[in-house]
Amino acid sequence: MITLENVTKVFGSTTAVDEISFKVEKGETFGLVGTSGCGKTTTLRMINRLIEPTSGSIAIDGKKTTAQNPEELRRQIGYVIQNVGLFPHYSVQENIATVPGLLNWETQRIQSRSEELLQLVGLDPETYADREPSSLSGGQQQRVGLARALAADPPIILMDEPFGALDPITKQQIREEVGQLLEQIHKTIVLVTHDVFEAFEMCDRLCLLDQGKIQQIGTPKELLFQPANDFVESFFASNRFQLELMSITLHDILKSAEEEMELYWSPPLRDKKERIDSRESLYVILEEIEKAKEQNPVIIQRINGRVRESLGFSALLNRFQQYKLQMKSGGRHV
Amino acid sequence: MFDFWHFIISNQSELLNQTVQHIGLTFISLLIAVIIGIPLGLLATRYEKISSPLLGAVGVIQTIPSIALLGFMLPLLGIGVIPAIVALFLYALLPIVRNTYSGISEVDESVVEAARGMGMTSGQILRKVELPLAMPVIFAGVRTATVINVGVATLCALIGAGGLGEFIFRGIALNNAVMIMAGALPAALLALGFDFVLGFFERNFSDLVKPLSYGLVGVLIFVSFYALSSVFAKSPFKMGVPSEFLERADGYRGLTRHYDLGEVPTIEMNASLMYNALKNGKVDVIVGYSTDGRIKAYDLKVLKDDKHYFPPYQCAPILKQRFATEHPEVVKAINKLAGLIDTQTMTELNSRVDYQQKDEAEVARDFLRNHGFKTDITRQGTPDMLIGGKLQTEQFIMGQMYRMLIENYTNLDVGLKLGLAGTQIVFRALNNDEIQMYPEYTGTGLHVLLDTDKTVSDSLGNDPQAVYNYVNHHMLKQFGIRWLKPLGFENTYALIMRRKQAEKLGIDTISDLVDYLKHN
C-alpha cells in the first residue's frame, strides 16, 4: 500500500531521517515509534508530502507520490494531529465538511456524510453539528478531528500523536473507541506515537526508529521478545512487564496452556476449540477457565506459569467480567 | 453655544464641502493603505527576512511628526490633494501592516498544519483559514488607521488639500474658538462615525462581504472622482489664499467687492507654502506679502493695487505704554533701527532666510554689524521681557534684531516667542502682558486690531503717515498700546503671479487681472 525506499531527509546539517525503507500493508495499522527527535513525525509528514524527502522515493499503491500534485495527494489521505487543529471559525459540521468541500461534493452528500461520521465517532449530530469547536472537550475535539480526517473516506489515515494532548483517562477511553472504530472501517493507518502502550494496543506492526534510522520492524510481540539489538531491548525495558501482558493474547495463553493442560480441559471447552480464532469464542473459553479455576486452582497456576504472575491473568478476567456485563446490558464488544 | 449654531448654519455649505473633502481624503488614503498594507503584511508573514525591516520602516514613518512629513513632501509632490493623500496613506500603513502581520502570525500553527494536511492550497489556506481568523486583528488595525487619518487629515488644510482643518486653522489664526470648534467637532464626529461603521462591518463581515465589495467599488469610483476632479479641475485660474486673509476686514471679501472680482476658485493654504505652489503652477495667483524673499527668488510679479484697496502697512514695533515708561532704555534701543530698513532691504533679508536657507539669527546679526551695532552680548538667563512675532519670515528676523539690540544696549535679558500663528493670537498675547513687544503693520492695526469704519479708513486714503498717526492715537486710547517709530519698510498684502505668465497675459495691475478673468 505504502512503500518507502531509502528515504532520507536532511535539515541543514542534521539528518532527521536516514535511509529508511518499509512497506505498510493494506488494512494494517503501522506504528512509528521512538523517542522525540527520532524522525518519526518527519517520516509521517513525508508520506503526504508536507515535507519533501531529500532523497529516496515514496509510493502509494505503486504510484510515486511525487507524480501527484501534493494538494490532491493530501485530499486522499486522512490526517490527524496531536493538537487536532480544528478550524475555530467553522462549526463542527463545517470542519468535517472541509475535504468533501475541497473535492466539490454536492451539498446534500456532504451533509449526510457529516452526520454519518458524527454518529460513527459517537457524537450526536443534532447536538453537535452546529457547535463551535471551542465549546467541545478535548476528547470531543479529537473525535471531530478524526471524523474530519475520515470525511472523504480516504483509504489511508496518518495519525501524529493523535491522543497526545488528552488527559490519561480520556486518552484511554478514546483510544479504545478509536481502536474499535478503525477496525470496523478497515483503513490503512500509519500512527506516530512515543507512547509504547498506545503502540502495542493499536498497532499490528511497529517500526522503532532512533536517530533517523530503523532499529527494527515487526509485530509488537517480535519487538518485545525478539529484539534486534540492545536499543530495541532497552527501549521497552522499563515497561516490559506491562507490555508483555498486553502483547500476549488469550490465544497465546490458551494455546500454550492447551498443550500442557490437555488433561484438565473440561468437555465443553474442548468442543469449542474449533472456534478459538473468533474473539467471542475466546470469551467462552475464558468462562470455562473461570469455572475450572473455581474447581481446580492448580490449572490457573500452570497457566500463569506462562504469564509469570497471576496479576496479569486476573486483569484479563476482569475485562472478561466487564464484557459479560456489557453483553447483558446490550452493549458493544470490548 | 448660540454662536456655534449660528456659525454652523451660516456656513453650512462650506462646512458640508469641507466635510466631504475630509471624508474623501481619509477614505481614499485608507483604501490605498488597505490595498497596499494588507499584502505587505502578508508578504512579511511569508518571508520572515523582510518582516523586521518592513515593520521597522513603516514604524519609522509613523514617528515622523505629521507636519514634518507634509513638509518633507513639498519638494517632491508640491501641495494639494496628492501629497495629502500620500502622507495620510503613509500614516495609515503602520497599523494595517503590523496588524495584518501579527494577525496572520498568531493563527494557531496546528490549524494551518491541519489545513495543509487536508490538502488546501496555500491560496485556500489564506482565504479560508488565515484571513478569516486574522480578520478581527486586521480590522482593529484598519480602525486605528482610520481614527489616525481623520485626525491627521485636518493638517492637510495647510497644504491646500481642503478638509475640516480649514476652519480649524482659520479659527486659530483669528483666535476664533467657534470657528475652531466648527472644524474640530465634525472631525471628531467623523472619527467616531467611521469607527462605528467599521465596527459594524466587522461584526457582520461574513454577511456583508458581497454587498461590501460592491459598495467598495462604488465608493472607490466616487472617491477617485472626487480626488481627480479637485486635482485636475480645468479651472483656468486658481487663487491661493492664506487662512487669515479670508476673514480679515481688509481681506478677501473686501478685495472681491472693491475690484468686482467675481467668483475666483480659491485654495486655502498655509502662507509659507503659497509661493512654492505658485512657482510650481499649482495656483496662478496668490495673496502674499510684498516683502517676501521668494518673490525675487522665484521670479514672481507683484500686481499693482491700482484701485488702492490695500492700506499702507508700515512695519513698526508696538508695546504697552506702561512698559515703555518703565523701560525707556528699551524704547531707545529699539528706535535705533527706525528708518534703517527699507522695503528692498527687507525683501533681500527675507530671501537670505527663505531662499538661501540661512539662519535668521545669522542674517539679523550680519545686518546689525554692518550698520555698526554691538552684537556680541548674548544672555541666556531668565528673560525679563518676551518679544513676539507672527509666522512671516521677516518677523523672525526682526525678533532676532530686537533681542540683540536690547541685550547689547540695556541690561535686560530677552526671550523670544516667534512664529505665533495669526495676528489675533500675537495681539492678544501683548494685550495680556504675555509678551511685551512685537512688530505690527499699520494697515493691520487699522483693519484688524481697531476694526475701523470704512468711511474713516477711506478718508485716511493711502497716506502712510496719516494711517500711522491714526492707529497710534486710537490704540493708545483703546488698549494703552503704543507704536514706536516705523522701521522704514512696508509689507502690504499683494496679489502675486508668475512673472512669465503675467507678462504673457499682459497683466500688470489687479484691474488687468479682473479684466482677464472676466473675458476668459
Residues of chain A with pLDDT under 50: 259-268, 272-279, 281, 298-312, 330-334
The grid coordinates of residue B153 equal 487629515
Check if the beta carbon of residue A199 is closer than 8 Å to that of residue A191: yes
A74 to B116: CB separation less than 8 angstroms, yes or no:
yes
Nearest to B133 among A70, A72, A89 (CB): A89
Nearest to A75 among B110, B113, B118 (CB): B118
- Give yes or no for A65 touching B (CB within 8 A): no
- Beta pairing partners, B437: B319, B387
A86 to B119: CB separation less than 8 angstroms, yes or no:
no
B91 pLDDT more than 70: yes
Domain count for chain A: 2
Check if the beta carbon of residue B293 is closer than 8 Å to that of residue B355: yes
Least confidently predicted of A60-69, B280-289, B468-477:
B280-289
Q: Report DSSP state, residue B449.
A: I
Residue B379 CA to residue B386 CA, distance in Å, equals 13
Nearest CA in chain A to B129: A87
Check if the beta carbon of residue B508 is closer than 8 Å to that of residue B502: yes
What pLDDT band is residue B255 in, cutting at 50, 70 and 90? confident
Which CATH number does B315-490 carry?
3.10.105.10
- Beta pairing partners, B387: B416, B437
Nearest to A81 among B113, B119, B120 (CB): B113
**Chain A, window 17-46: residues with a beta carbon less than 8 angstroms from a chain B beta carbon:** none
Nearest CA in chain A to B112: A85
Nearest CA in chain B to A148: B118
pLDDT digits (tens, 9 = 90+) for B160-191: 788 888 888 888 877 778 888 988 999 999 89
Residues A197 and A103 occupy one common structural domain = yes
A98 to B118: CB separation less than 8 angstroms, yes or no:
yes
Check if the beta carbon of residue B483 is closer than 8 Å to that of residue B472: yes
The grid coordinates of residue A320 equal 472478561
Order of strands, edge to edge, in the sheet holding B414-417?
B414-417, B385-388, B437-441, B315-320, B481-483
Domain ranges of chain B: 2-232, 239-309+495-518, 315-490
Chain A CB contacts of B117 below 8 Å: 48, 50, 74, 79, 81, 85, 158
- Which residue segment(s) compose the domain that A299 sits in? 248-328
pLDDT digits (tens, 9 = 90+) for B495-506: 999 999 888 888
A114 within some domain: yes
pTM over 0.80: no
Q: Report DSSP state, residue A177.
A: H
Average per-residue pLDDT for chain B: 86
B111 to A102: CB separation less than 8 angstroms, yes or no:
no
Residues A215 and A266 occupy one common structural domain = no
Q: What is the pLDDT of residue B125?
A: 92
- CA end-to-end distance (rounded Å), chain B: 44
Average pLDDT over residues B46-50: 88
- Beta pairing partners, B481: B320
CATH number of the structural domain spanning residue A62: 3.40.50.300
What are the backbone angles phi and psi of residue B100, rounded to the nearest 5°?
-65, -45
Nearest to B114 among A71, A73, A81 (CB): A81
Residue B245 CA to residue B492 CA, distance in Å, equals 12
Q: What is the pLDDT of residue A297?
A: 53
B119 to A75: CB separation less than 8 angstroms, yes or no:
yes
Residues A47 and A191 occupy one common structural domain = yes
- Give yes or no for A157 touching B (CB within 8 A): no
Chain B CB contacts of A79 below 8 Å: 114, 117-118
Residues A198 and A295 occupy one common structural domain = no
Nearest CA in chain B to A46: B117
Instruction: Using alpha carbons, select from B455, B346, B334 the residue that is nearest to residue B405.
Output: B334
Percent of chain B with pLDDT over 70: 94
Chain A CB contacts of B118 below 8 Å: 74-75, 79, 98-99, 102, 148-149
Residues 6+ apart with CB under 8 A from B91: B29, B61, B62, B66, B69, B145, B148, B149, B152
B469 pLDDT more than 80: yes
* Interface contacts A/B by beta carbons within 8 Å: 63
Q: What is the pLDDT of residue A265?
A: 44
Residue B303 CA to residue B282 CA, distance in Å, equals 19
Fold designation for B239-309+495-518: D-Maltodextrin-Binding Protein; domain 2 (3.40.190)
**A60, amino acid identity:** I
- CA of A79 vs chain B CAs: smallest distance (Å): 6
What pLDDT band is residue B202 in, cutting at 50, 70 and 90? confident
Architecture of domain B2-232: Orthogonal Bundle (1.10)
Average pLDDT over residues B1-24: 82
A87 to B111: CB separation less than 8 angstroms, yes or no:
yes
- Give yes or no for A50 touching B (CB within 8 A): yes
Residues A150 and A264 occupy one common structural domain = no
- CA of B203 vs chain A CAs: smallest distance (Å): 13
Check if the beta carbon of residue B125 is closer than 8 Å to that of residue B107: no
Q: Is residue B370 packed enough to be buried (19+ CB in 10 Å), middle (13-18) or exposed (0-12)? A: exposed
Mutation target vs B (from A44, A71, A72; most B CBs, 10 A cutoff) = A71
Mutation target vs A (from B118, B120, B202, B209; most A CBs, 10 A cutoff) = B118
Average pLDDT over residues B88-95: 91
B118 to A50: CB separation less than 8 angstroms, yes or no:
no
Average pLDDT over residues B53-70: 87
Residue-level length of chain A: 334
A102 to B118: CB separation less than 8 angstroms, yes or no:
yes
Nearest CA in chain B to A80: B114
- Give yes or no for A97 touching B (CB within 8 A): no
Residues A149 and A260 occupy one common structural domain = no
B119 to A87: CB separation less than 8 angstroms, yes or no:
no
A334 within some domain: no
Residues A14 and A157 occupy one common structural domain = yes
Nearest to A87 among B119, B121, B129 (CB): B129
pLDDT digits (tens, 9 = 90+) for B231-247: 455 556 788 888 888 87
What pLDDT band is residue B306 in, cutting at 50, 70 and 90? confident
Q: What is the pLDDT of residue A177?
A: 82
Residues A149, A155, A158, A162, Cα dihedral to 10°: 50
Q: What is the pLDDT of residue A331?
A: 42
Residues A149 and A268 occupy one common structural domain = no
Q: What is the pLDDT of residue A299?
A: 45
Q: What is the pLDDT of residue A267?
A: 47
The grid coordinates of residue B105 equal 502570525
- CA of B135 vs chain A CAs: smallest distance (Å): 11
**B361, amino acid identity:** A
Chain A CB contacts of B113 below 8 Å: 50, 81, 85
Residue B127 CA to residue A192 CA, distance in Å, equals 30
- CA of A154 vs chain B CAs: smallest distance (Å): 11
Nearest to A48 among B117, B120, B129 (CB): B117
Nearest to A89 among B116, B120, B132 (CB): B132
- Give yes or no for A102 touching B (CB within 8 A): yes
Residue B433 CA to residue B123 CA, distance in Å, equals 68
Residue-level length of chain B: 520
Residues A98 and A218 occupy one common structural domain = yes
SS3 state at B439: strand
- Give yes or no for A126 touching B (CB within 8 A): no
B286 pLDDT more than 60: yes
B61 pLDDT more than 50: yes
Q: Is residue B296 packed enough to be buried (19+ CB in 10 Å), middle (13-18) or exposed (0-12)? A: middle
Average pLDDT over residues B51-65: 89
Chain A CB contacts of B110 below 8 Å: 81-85
Q: What is the pLDDT of residue B354?
A: 81
Residues A178 and A256 occupy one common structural domain = no
Q: Is residue A11 packed enough to be buried (19+ CB in 10 Å), middle (13-18) or exposed (0-12)? A: exposed
Residue B94 CA to residue B100 CA, distance in Å, equals 10
Average pLDDT over residues B38-66: 89
Q: What is the pLDDT of residue A36?
A: 85
B384 pLDDT more than 60: yes
Least confidently predicted of B47-56, B199-208, B400-409:
B199-208
Order of strands, edge to edge, in the sheet holding A14-24?
A14-24, A2-11, A55-60, A63-64
The grid coordinates of residue B34 equal 488597505
Chain B CB contacts of A76 below 8 Å: 119
Residues A168 and A289 occupy one common structural domain = no
Residues A48 and A91 occupy one common structural domain = yes
B118 to A99: CB separation less than 8 angstroms, yes or no:
yes
Task: Choose the final residue of a domain: A205, A239, A273.
Answer: A239
Chain B CB contacts of A70 below 8 Å: 119
Chain B CB contacts of A75 below 8 Å: 118-119
Q: What angle do CA A245, A247, A250 make, to 5 degrees?
A: 75
DSSP string, A60-95: ETTEEGGGS-HHHHHHTEEEEETT----TTS-HHHH
Residue B437 CA to residue B431 CA, distance in Å, equals 10
- Give yes or no for A52 touching B (CB within 8 A): no
Average pLDDT over residues B100-126: 91
Return the sign of the alpha-carbon dihedral for residues B75, B80, B82, B86: positive
Check if the beta carbon of residue A205 is closer than 8 Å to that of residue A193: no
Average per-residue pLDDT for chain A: 79
A143 within some domain: yes
In order of A23, A221, A234, B392, B455, the CA distances from A224 in angstroms are: 20, 5, 10, 94, 117
A333 within some domain: no
